[in-house]
Structure 1
């Protein structure tokens, strides 16, 4: 998926995303994570 520029994960019930989850998506320039019930804790700090 070297050419993927936009990824929408809108409203997917995602609670946590591990660091490095998007590292292989080098061309990614837009990421939609709206409307997900994220658990806000120190483990998600990297996403800031």
Structure 2
């Protein structure tokens, strides 16, 4: 997907949302189909 941002703040908010989703909602097959956040909790 492509986005056109009107401001730097808009781009930063989108990047923050993407990163949160990547770490908390999106399962990662390389680490057994769990999210990176779950993997971090298991390692602690």
Q: TM-score normalised to the size of structure 1?
A: 0.21
Give the strand-richer structure, 1 or 2: 1
Q: TM-score normalised to the size of structure 2?
A: 0.21
User: Which structure ranks higher in relative contact order (CA pairs < 8 Å, sequence separation ≥ 6)?
Assistant: 1
